[in-house]
Amino acid sequence: MSFADLGLSDELLSAITGAGYTDPTPVQKQAIPSVLMGRDLIAIAQTGTGKTAAFVLPMIDILGEGRTRALMPRSLILEPTRELAAQVAENFEKYGQNHKLSMALLIGGVQMGDQVKALEKGVDVLIATPGRLMDLFQRGKILLTGCSLLVIDEADRMLDMGFIPDIEEICTKLPKTRQTLLFSATMPPPIKKLADKFLDNPRTIEVARPASTNINITQWVVPVSAQKKRSVIERLLNGDEVKTAIIFANRKTTVRDLNKSLQRSGFRSGEIHGDMEQPQRLAELDRFKKGDINILVASDVAARGLDIKGVSHVFNYDAPWHPDDYVHRIGRTGRAGATGVSYTLVTPDDAENLDNIEKLTGQKIQRLDMGGAPAPEEAPQEEKPKRGDKSKTARARKEKAPARAKAPATIEDAPEAPVEARAAREERPKRDDRSQREERPQREERPRRDDRPHAGSSRRRDGEDDGPDDGWNGPIPEFLSVTFAVE
C-alpha cells in the first residue's frame, strides 16, 4: 500500500515525497484512512513508529477545508511536554508546506503574549501542553467550542505526569460532536477509562507490542561497580564506533557532573535536564541536532518521543528505575529503520531494576564483561576479575562483543578518574532523599490541584511538565511563534 492509496491530497503527497518517505509505516496505513473518514481512533503505538505523521497528515487534509475564527482554534493537539509539542509543530511545518494552515504552539516557558496574539488571529491547529492551555482558558483567552478535532498524544505519559484530570476537563470544553484521536504506547486502565468516556465508537489499532524494544537496536548490559562507571563510560565512548550518543542518568546532579567530567576529558558533550530553562533546553538540543556536540547527557526529560536523527548509541549511565523508561531511552537510537546500539551500566544494586527491564521487554539482554564488576545475579563478588588479569576479560570480551562494535580495552587499562569517589556515593536515593532525582509523579501520587503546573504556583515538578510562565529569555525559534504559510 502506498501513500497515494490512503486517500491523501496531491499537495500532501508532494510534501511526503519531499520528506523522503516512500511507503507509509504500519500505523500510518491503519490510522490515516480511518481519520480521513472522521472516525475516532485509539492507536497503541510507540514513538519511532511514524505515529506523529499518522495524525498530522490526515489532519492537514481535513483542515484544508474550512476557515479560522478568532480565539477559536479548529483543532487541538495535547502533548505532555514542551519538547514534544515543539516537535509536532515541526512536523506540521514539514508536511503542511503546500497548505495554507495556521498554527499556534501553547507551551510553558514562553511568554504568553505572542501565543495570545496568534490565537486572537485564529488558528487551524493549536498544539498545547495541558497546563498552559488550562491557564489561558481560565483567563478567557481561548474558546474551545469551535474545536472539532482533538488529539491526545502520549496518553500514558500524560497519566504519569498527573495530567489526566486536566485532560478530562479540557474534553468537557470541546463540542460533543468532534473527532478524537488518542495515541499511547501502552493502555493502562486509567487511559482505557478516559477513552471509554470521551471517544465515540473508536477504531482501535495496535502496531507494536507495548513496551517491546526495537529489533534494530543491539543491546548490551555492562556489569560495573559504581566506582568504575565514569571510566567505563569513557572507554565505551572511545572504543566503540560512537558517532552521536545520548547518555541517560537518573538524577540531575549526575547529568551535570557527568557532562562536566566528559568535557574535562575532551569529549564534545552537552546536557539536558529538568532544571534548565526551556530556551536552554531547546538550544542544547539544537546544538546536538546540528552536530556542534555529539554527546548529550540527559535525564528522562529527553527519553520519550524526542526524534533526533542518526543517534548511533544510547548509554544508560544509570539503569532506569522504571522499566518502561528503558524502552523509551533506548528508543532514541535505531529510529526510522536505522540500526543502533545501547549499553546499560548495571551495578550490583541494580539487580532488581535489570530484572524488571528484562521481564517487561521479555528478553534477556546480553552481558558485556568489561571487568568492571560481576553481574549481580551471575557471579559473587569474589569472582570479579582481578586487577591485571587481562587475559580473562579480554577473552570474555572477544567472545561477547558485538560483531560491529570495536571492542573496548579492559577497564584495568583506564586511569581512575578523580571524580569517581563521588560517583560511588551516588547511590539510589532513599525514599526521603529524592530531591535530586528527576521526579516522576507516580500514578497513585497525582499532584493535588494546587500543585499542578497551571495553578499559578511557582513550583515546577521536574521541568519536563508545563512549568510556570517564567518568560522567554532568548530569540524565539521560528516554529515557536506563529507558523507555516500565513494566509
Task: Count other C-beta atoms under 10 Å from residue 37's C-beta.
Answer: 12
Q: Which stretch binds ligand AMP (CB under 6 A): 21-29, 210-218, 425-433, 465-473?
A: 21-29
- Residue 21 or 137 having the CB closest to ligand AMP: 21
Nearer to ligand AMP, 336 or 351 (CB): 336
- Please report, as residue ranges, which positions from 296 to 315 form the binding site for ligand AMP (by CB under 6 A): 307
Contact pick of 15, 24, 71, 327 for ligand AMP (by CB under 6 A): 24
- In degrees and rounded to multiples of 5, residue 175 shows phi and psi of -65, 150
C-alpha cell at 75: 483543532
Complex with ligand AMP: residue 34 or 393, whichever CB lies closer: 34
Q: Is 50 in the site for ligand AMP (CB under 6 A)?
A: yes
Q: Give min distance, CB of 22 to ligand AMP, in A.
A: 7
Task: Output the smallest distance, CB 10 to ligand AMP, in A.
Answer: 17
Determine the interface stretch with ligand AMP among 24-32, 205-213, 348-356, 372-380 (rule: CB under 6 A): 24-32
The count of other CB atoms within 10 Å of the CB of residue 385 is 22
200 C-beta neighbours (distance < 10 Å), count:
11
Give whichever of 22 and 458 is closer to ligand AMP, judged by the CB atom: 22
> In 312-410, which residue ranges form alpha helices assigned H by DSSP?
323-330, 351-361, 390-400
Strand, helix or coil at 3?
A: helix
Stretch that binds ligand AMP, among 48-56, 282-290, 339-347, 380-388 (CB under 6 A): 48-56
Nearest-approach distance from CB 51 to ligand AMP, in angstroms: 4
53 touches ligand AMP by CB under 6 A: yes
Phi-psi region of 435 (alpha: psi -120 to 50; beta: other; left: phi over 0): alpha
**Which member of 21, 64, 216, 428 binds ligand AMP (CB under 6 A)?**
21
Q: Which three cell numbers stand for residue 131?
A: 497546563
Nearest residue (CB) to ligand AMP, 26 versus 441: 26
Nearest to 146 by CA among 162, 122, 163: 122
Residue whose CB is less far from ligand AMP, 48 or 58 = 48
**Binding of ligand AMP by 335 (CB under 6 A):** yes
Q: Which of 30, 34, 49, 356 binds ligand AMP (CB under 6 A)?
A: 49
- Quick check: 193 and 160 in contact, CB under 8 A? no
Return the bridge partners of 105, or none.
127
By CB under 6 A, residue 376 contacts ligand AMP? no
Q: Which stretch binds ligand AMP (CB under 6 A): 50-58, 184-192, 254-262, 402-410?
A: 50-58
Q: Give whichever of 307 and 318 is closer to ligand AMP, judged by the CB atom.
A: 307
Choose between 16 and 233: whose C-beta lies nearer to ligand AMP.
16
DSSP labels, 144-209: -TT--EEEE-SHHHHHHTT-HHHHHHHHHHS-SS-EEEEEESS--HHHHHHHHHH-SS-EEEE-S-
Q: Which amino acid is at 247?
A: I
**Nearest distance from residue 54's CB to ligand AMP, in Å?**
7
96 binds ligand AMP, rule: CB under 6 A:
no
Q: Residue 208 has which C-alpha cell?
A: 507494536
Do the Cβ atoms of 83 and 302 come closer than 8 Å? yes
For 229, list phi and psi in degrees, rounded to 5. Answer: -55, -50
Q: Which is nearer to ligand AMP, 187 or 308 (CB)?
A: 308
Q: Is 13 in the site for ligand AMP (CB under 6 A)?
A: no
φ and ψ at 73, to 5 degrees? -60, 145
Angle, helices 323-330 vs 351-361, to 10°: value is 70
Residue 25 binds to ligand AMP (criterion: CB under 6 A): yes
Q: What is the nearest approach in angstroms of ligand AMP to the Cβ of residue 413?
A: 38
Contacting positions for ligand AMP (CB under 6 A): 21, 24-25, 28, 47-53, 307, 335-336
